[in-house]
Structures are given as structure tokens and as C-alpha cells.
Structure 1
Amino acid sequence: MPGLSIEVDPNVGSANYTTLIYLPDTSVDPSAPGPRLPNAWQQYDASAAGSRWYAAGATGSLINCTLASPCSFDELKAALPDAVITLSLGFRMDTPFIGAIDGLQVNNTVYDFGPLGARKLAVAP
């Protein structure tokens, strides 16, 4: 499954850059569907209970939220209360992936991804 990456200024310690990474393959219900079904649309909620995240580099070690020991989104937010999204939000794939990503909601905005790129679909209530 593709993961979600957010580049941030963590504003913790001396670090001024890190990537926060959502791990859909190790997240559990309700963050990730259970069971996962092939060839079916499924919904993931990266901020829900059961989510698994880590901070790359020195920031992860500083806040004890690493790939080897991921934390929940709530724990990540509590450890980085002053973090600011600085550059981008994107998807990452460490293995081949055949599929699609649709309906990404960030705060109150929903995005659709297609052959011509991303487009804003709607503002959620």
C-alpha cells in the first residue's frame, strides 16, 4: 500500500526538517480496513485510532517515534505540537503498487487523483 508522507518543520530540538510517514500496512482498524480485500476500494483514515506513523531521521529518535517503533497520529501530534507543514504532502511506495488513490481528505478539502494530476473535488462540511 502507498504510504502518506508530510514534510514538516518539527520545531523540536535542533531539527528544522523531517518527514512524517503514515504506514498503512501496519495500521489497524479503524485506521486501516480489516480485512484488506484485493481489487476493492477501501478506506484508510491516517488520523484514526490504530494508525501507525513515524518521523524520519533525528526527529524520530528524539520523540521516540521511529520506523522500528511507530506511534499513533495522536501520539505524533502530542510529541510535535508546534510542527508546521513546510513543503509537501505526497504518497510513497517502497514496493510495486497497482491501484489508485482517490478521495484524499486533508482538513476540509478533498482531492481526486487521475491521469491529468490532482484536482480539488469538494470542501467537506
Structure 2
Amino acid sequence: MDLVLPCFDTKGVSVNARFRVKRKVVLGVTALVAVAASVVPASAAPSPDGNGGSSDHWGVITRNTIGSPVAALRTGPFGSFGVTGPAARPPYGRGSLGIETADDATSLTPPSEMVVFGNEVDFYGDPVLGLNQVGFRVFQTSENVTSGGPGNLPNIRFEINPHLAGAPATTYSSLVWVPAASPVVDRWSPYLDATTTGTWFLTGNAGTVTGCMQGTPCTFQQLRTALNDGGPQPTIYTAGVSKGRDFMWVGAVDGLRINGTIYDFEADGVKARRVG
């Protein structure tokens, strides 16, 4: 049964427009210079009709970026050559978030790059356990599969305060979705649903306490249960798309969905589209 809380963000907008809290608390995410573009116009909230809204709070999260990766709003990709129909173009508009990472471009251990393109403002303080729809569409290539296997894909990453009763001193963890293999390559994928496919893990001590670690990841439902340990409600710090530290990857992401909003990555900005 839904329990709607009268909570408001700093703009006076109810967070219940994006998040609903369940009675059972639920879910719950080197030696070169980072190159990235993240120019976005207009206001941070969706427009009243749910289309054409935009956010100026999306961009590369610099403190989480290592090496010289690229995370840039771009036009396309269109293709690959010979591909026609809807899979040959970005699923929303004409643009996407282009991502490029290397596997061994740094002298760190492991010697790999990482980039996070996200939003450090609009989700701050929202309930992790209010997440109910998460996912995106991806442009995967056969070269990426050759580099790191079929699971070599970007992630969805939420930085959170887990508020675990079993670890009250732990105030930070990354909540990370690891997608299953894309069903297609060299073209745009269908929607990859992070609530029903792939696995999730928590970094740091929160992963150890819950058992949802990178080496022993959990399903979406298992993670929701693990975070519901009787402590205060976990809250979000940031939300975004990430890649690394692992294999070389060159591709694109579009249509990031977080609950009732789809974030359409375009060359001139990030558009917030309400799910109809």
C-alpha cells in the first residue's frame, strides 16, 4: 500500500511527484585529463505538460572521474551502417550521451578510467526506497563486446546515505546497477529495465553489511529487502550514468528513466520527459 509523505524539495515541489514510499521500505547504484561536455539550458523541473522540460544540473561529476574519459552530449549515433528503422537512431530526439573510456590509460591500480555523468542537485534527499522504475537504452557495439564481453556496458549509479541499522556510522555508498547483456549490438537497444534485469551492488561497508557486494550482487528486489533493515530511510545524494573502472567502452546512452521521468540526452541539453 502506498504511503504518500508530504515532503518538499528546496524548490517547494513535492518529492512525491517523483517518488512513492512503500509501507515495506523498498530499494533501494590515468594520466590524462577528463574530457566532457554537459551544457544544458532552462529550468531544472519538467514542464507542466511533462514534455520539453529541461535541467541545467546534469554534467560530469568531476570528483568521480578518473583519467581522460569522455561523457559528452552529442547528436546521434545513427547506424551502424546498413541498419535502418527505429534502431538506427536515438530513441528520443536526435541526440544522446556519448561515452568513451579506456581500460589501461592510468598508472593507478586497477589501471583504468572512470566517468560519471549525473545530477548532484535534483535528487538530493529523495528516498532511495521510493525508486520503482529505473533503466535506459544503450548503443552497444560488437567491438565493446570483444573488449570486455557481452556485459561490458555502462551502469546506473546512485550515491546514497544507506542509513543501515547494522552500520549507523556508514553514511556513504554507491548503489550501482550492472546491466545484463544488450539483446542487440551495433544499433540502439530496446529499453533495459534495471528493476527486472541485471544486478545491483553497494560499495564499501554498506555492501559488506547487506551482502550486496560487487562480487556477490543482488537483484533489485533483494537489494530493497537488504536496505530495509529497520534503520532510518536511506536517501539519495546523486544520480547518474557511469562507466569504469574496467574495460574499454565506446558507445552511447539515451532515455535514462528514473521513476516517472525519462531524461532525454540531446546535444543542446538534457530534456525531462514525463512518462505518459
Aligned runs of 1:1-125 on 2, under 5 Å?
1-12=153-164, 13=167, 14-24=169-179, 27=180, 33=182, 36-42=183-189, 43-48=191-196, 50-81=197-228, 82-86=233-237, 88-94=238-244, 95-120=247-272, 122-125=273-276
Alignment coverage as a number of residue pairs: 114
**What is the letter of the counterpart of residue 65 of structure 1?**
C
Distance 2:209 2:253 in 1: 32
Seq. identity, % = 29
Q: Which runs of 5+ in 2 are unaligned?
A: 1-152
Note the C-alpha offset of 1:92: 1.4
**What is the letter of the counterpart of residue 176 of structure 2?**
I
Note the C-alpha offset of 1:114: 2.6
> Which of the pair has more CA radius of gyration?
2
**What is the letter of the counterpart of residue 83 of structure 1?**
P
Note the C-alpha offset of 1:51: 2.6
**What is the letter of the counterpart of residue 124 of structure 1?**
V
Q: Which runs of 5+ in 1 are unaligned?
A: none
Distance 2:235 2:209 in 1: 17
Note the C-alpha offset of 1:80: 1.1
> Taking structure 2 as the reference length, what is the TM-score of the superposition?
0.39
Distance 1:46 1:9 in 2: 20
Q: Please identify runs of 4+ aligned residues in structure 1 that moved more than 3 A.
A: none
Note the C-alpha offset of 1:54: 0.3
**What is the letter of the counterpart of residue 185 of structure 2?**
P
Secondary structure, aligned partner of 2:175? strand
Note the C-alpha offset of 1:103: 1.1
